[in-house]
Each structure stands twice: as C-alpha cells, then as structure tokens.
Structure 1
C-alpha cells in the first residue's frame, strides 16, 4: 500500500472515534442545559397554551427521551442528514453551507496573515537575540497578545470606520449594492480588512514569540558553530538553517490553534455583524437549536481534523526526518 494512502487511512481511523466522542459529549452537555427549542420559541413568540406547547414538542420530536433522540440523530447522520433547524425552519445542511464559506474565508486569510507575518517578524527578532530590534518586537508582541480580540475589533472600528471613514463598519458586503465580478470581490475584501486584522493580530504575536524563542535556542546548538566555522554568512545561517529548524514548532502551533481560531471567529463575527459560522453557533445556542448546534460542532471538528492533517503533511516536507506512512 502506498505510504500516503496508509497515512490517510490511519488518520481516518483516528478521526471517526474522535467525531463520535465529540457528538456524544456535545449532546449530553446540551441535554444537561436548562430549556430547549420550544422554551426559546415560546419566549420569542409570546404566550402559548399548554396544548400548543405539547403539540410543538411532538412535532419537533422533543417529547421523546434523550436516548431515543440521540439514536434517531445518529441514524440520520449516518445517512448524511444533519437534521432540521427549528430556528431557521430549514435543513441544517443548507444553513451550514450558507454560512461556512464566509468563516472559512475569514479564518483562512487571518491564519495565513498571522502565520507568515508572525513567522517573518519572529525571524527578524530571532536573527540577533538581545538586540534592540529583538527587545522591541518581543515587547510589542507581548502587549498585543494581552489585548482581547473583541476590544481590538471595537478600537479598529472606531478609528478606521467611524473617525476616518476609510473602511466599512461591519457586514460581509454592501447591502443591495448590485456589484458583480471584481467590484464585488473588492467590496468583500474591504469589509474583511478590519475583522481579519482583529482576528490575526493576537495570533501573529503568538507565532512571533514562538519563532523568536526557538531561534534563540537554536543559535546555541553545536551545528550553528560548525556552520560559522565553515565561513557561511550570518544571513544564510539565519534563513537556511536556524529559521528552517525553528519553524517546526510554529507549524505545530498552527494546527493546535485551528480550534481557537474558530472560537475567536464567534466573537469577531458578532462584533462586525458578519453572518458566518461563529455567529451561527451563537444563534443556535440562544435559540436552543440542538440539531443546528450539533451540526456546527461536527463541521468545526472536521475542519480542525483537516487542518491538522495538512500540518502533518507539511511536517514531512519541512523535516527530512519525518516520513509520511511510517
């Protein structure tokens, strides 16, 4: 069997039990919470008599016990059916497919910006440990990492959207603008600048510090002294040898931070009124929409698994000692 196929099969065998545990644990936690979708619906719609409430519970399948409902959900999921959203009165799959691309775009751009810019600044700081440049970047990154993402988003809105009026306040694109093609792409890009910046800056500081600290350790390794003895320039040693070895833990952190980035999107999308996946999760919790929330959690878990799979593949390219399939 080819090593790559064997690698994917092992990852799949590991992922399926993880997804099952995530769904079962999430369902139990939701059952432990007070209230359900009917209680939320009654609170929003106004008064309903007991007979109407009982009829609504029967229509939504909430009159059955937790074990029966989880068995029915798992059976439907095995057939590819994510269920029916009581909040949106639509299939869960259609609601998720409508919101997920927006969050993937936001998270993908923010992750790429944080990783590449943070790693680059980490190399700049770690090239000369103890220098003024190193101390300035390290202190700045620490201060940036301590700033809450929602507060940073609000400050960016006040400065660039309210005072300077350079960028839109929120949303994913202008309402009823009629723009198409490149004009619409530019409009979406302008709306994404502030949320991407607020989401990426915190993680940028993390990657910067991680890259800088690892490089400062590698400079003391014996092989670096051997490279200096061979007459290699400091710039070549920095980029070809020290930075390449230091980037491995940064790539590992990239996979670990995928779940945190999804969690951060909940706050950022709420601040900037972006109709994305994170905001959908908040709406599902507020309306006690269990099928929708389980669908959101399932898709989030799959996204994190895929990101970590890509990270494992990248390890095989960055580190010659790692071989896919072994």
Structure 2
C-alpha cells in the first residue's frame, strides 16, 4: 500500500509539472517576436490581408492569449496536440514519426557516456597520481570544455575529408534496402558520429565525477575496515567501493537527461538527423506554435520518465533507501 501511495503521489506531481511546463511554454512562445502567418506569407512570396485574416482566424491567433491558452488546454486534455502550421500534419503523428530516431540517438549516447566515463573514472582512481590518471583528467577537461556543435563539426571535417569512412549526414543511405539486418547496420553506421558527438561532453563529466567519488569512498572508514580484515583488493575495490561510488553517477544521469535532449537538438541539426531536435529547429524558424508545444510536452515527459527510472535504480543500488 505504501508503494502504491508513493507511486500515486509521484504521478500527481508529474502531472502538475507537465501542466506547468505547457502553460509557461505557451505564454513564452506567444511573447516571442514573430508570427506564423507572417512566416507563411514570406515563404509564399506574399499574401493579401484577407488571406492573412482568414489564416489567423483559422489558427485561432485572432483570440486573446488567455483564450487561446484555454482552448489549447481543453484540446490537450482530450489528447489533441493540434495541427502543424507548416508541415500540415497532426502534431502527435508528426512527433511519433520522429521520436524513435531521437530516442535511439539519446539512449546510445547516454550508454556510451556512462560506460566509457565510468570506466575511465575508475581507472583514474586506482592510481590518482599516475600518468594514466593525469592523461584521463586532461582528456576529460578537453572533452567537457568542447561545445557539442564544435565536436560535431570537427568529426564531419575528419570523416568527410581526411578519413572518409563514416557517413556524416542523415540516418540511412538511400541506396540501401536489403532487409532488416542491412538496414540496422546502415542506421548504426550513420549513428556513430552523432552519438559520439553527443556523448563526449557527458563522458567527460561522468569520468571526473566517478574519479572524485571513488577517491572519496576509498578513503572512508568501512573501506579501511574491509582491507584490515584481509579482503582481496579487487573485492574491496569493486564490491565495497564501486557500488557506493555509483550513487552520485546515477543521480547525475537523471539530472543530465534534460541537457542530453537539449544537446540532441544541436547534434541533429549538425548531422541532419531526422529526430525531434531537427523538428524543433525547423519549428522555431517557422514559428510553428503547435509543434513546438507538442515537442516541449514530449521532452518534459521523457525527462520525468527518466527521473522516475533513476529513482528506481537508486533504490536498487542503495538498500537503505529501499528500507526507508
């Protein structure tokens, strides 16, 4: 019963948070300069005032902002995210088409960053004053300092001109169509550079955090006690120290998931990856309000789900939280 009440309370808070995100996003988008009808008029080479007024009436842009907000929330409650001004498609179907590509990119980058960063941090903590530790520290600082778009552009230059062995644009090759196996290999081939570009910054963060957390745990009393009992160093290092040192990493994974989605917007734009980030970039340029609001809703939903999963992992990693 306690677990059910806990889950219900978290779902209630999550619902309030999503509604708050939608309301705030709606108001901020309306306050931003620009108008969807003016953008459409510019792309069409101009339109008459009658057509402009008709479009504003059709889109509901001639209503006061609070009235528009009420209409949008009413439609949202019924599962209707609106209709895209530019793509001329329902926002929900448009997002669902792009969502798998973004999830593939973000989750791949997250796995690469966590596994690689944790491994490098553990290696650096074993001999904190050694050459390997210093080398990992320097590499981590460089990776953390490099902007995502700069890393992506360098990879494009490297693998488009110097070593042309990896594709630098898109998600699939138009000429490839040989069954699910070849298609999967083709997608994985295109995924390498975007995933690496997105993972580098977070890999450096996890590496530094793991090193600091491991050094802190290795200096604790219970680790010294375990060594005094004569336990093997490998067992002390991995069973006693590493498990406790992973708790801050799990926390940061949840906190950084939103930043990872934000970084995906830049990476998808640089590599022309057909995901939500690229859709968000196009929607901002074209003042496509319904699509932007739908993207913000799904992004907040993904972040909330990620944080819930992190809570579950935290309870599994630390029995004290599970007991409480």
TM-score between the two structures when normalised by the length of structure 1: 0.97
Which residue pairs with 2:284 in the alignment?
285
Deviation at 1:2, TM superposition (A): 5.7
Deviates more, 1:187-196 or 1:41-50: 41-50
Give CA-to-partner distance per residue, 1:71-124, whole Å, 9 cap, x none.
111001101111111110110001000011100000001001101111111111
Task: Kindly indicate whether the alpha-carbon contact (under 8 Å) linking 2:176 and 2:186 is maintained by their aligned counterparts in 1.
Answer: no
Aligned residue in 2 for 1:211: 210
State the match for 2:55 in structure 1.
Answer: 56
Q: Pairwise mapping of residues 116-265 of structure 1 onto structure 2 (< 5 A)?
A: 116-265=115-264
Consecutive aligned runs of 4 or more in structure 1 exceeding 4 Å deviation: none
- CA–CA separation in structure 1 for the residues paired with 2:320 and 2:130: 33
1:25 offset after TM fit, Å? 0.7
The equivalent of 2:93 in structure 1 is: 94
How far is the alpha carbon of 1:176 from its aligned partner? 4.7
Any conservation in 2 of the 1:76–1:83 contact (CA below 8 Å)? Answer: yes
**Counterpart of 1:323 in 2: which secondary structure?**
helix
Q: Shift in Å at residue 288 of structure 1?
A: 0.7
- Whether the 8 Å CA contact 1:262–1:300 is kept in 2: the answer is yes
CA contact (8 A) 1:162 1:169 kept: no
| Post-superposition offset of 1:222 | 1.0
In the other structure, the counterpart of 1:9 is 8
1:164 deviation in Å?
1.6
**Stretch deviating more after TM superposition (202-211 or 45-54):** 45-54
Distance of 2:161 and 2:50 partners within structure 1? 50
Q: Distance in 2 between matches of 1:217 and 1:2?
A: 34
**In the TM superposition, what whole-angstrom CA distance separates every residue of 1:19-47 from its partner, at most 9, and x where no partner exists?**
11111110111111112211111111111
Distance 1:111 1:162 in 2: 28
Tell me by how many angstroms 1:227 deviates. Answer: 1.0
Count of aligned pairs between the two proteins: 324
Conservation of the 8 A alpha-carbon contact between 1:195 and 1:268:
yes
Residue 211 (structure 1) shift: 0.5
SS at match of 1:88: coil
**Unaligned ranges ≥5, structure 1:** none
Per the alignment, residue 33 of structure 2 pairs with 34
Tell me the distance in 1 between the aligned counterparts of 2:294 and 2:175: 30
Unaligned runs of at least 5 residues, structure 2 = none
177-186 vs 165-174, greater mean Cα deviation: 177-186
Deviates more, 1:188-197 or 1:120-129: 120-129
Q: C-alpha separation between the residues in 1 aligned to 2:314 and 2:150?
A: 35
Greater RCO (Cα-Cα under 8 Å, separation 6 or more): 1
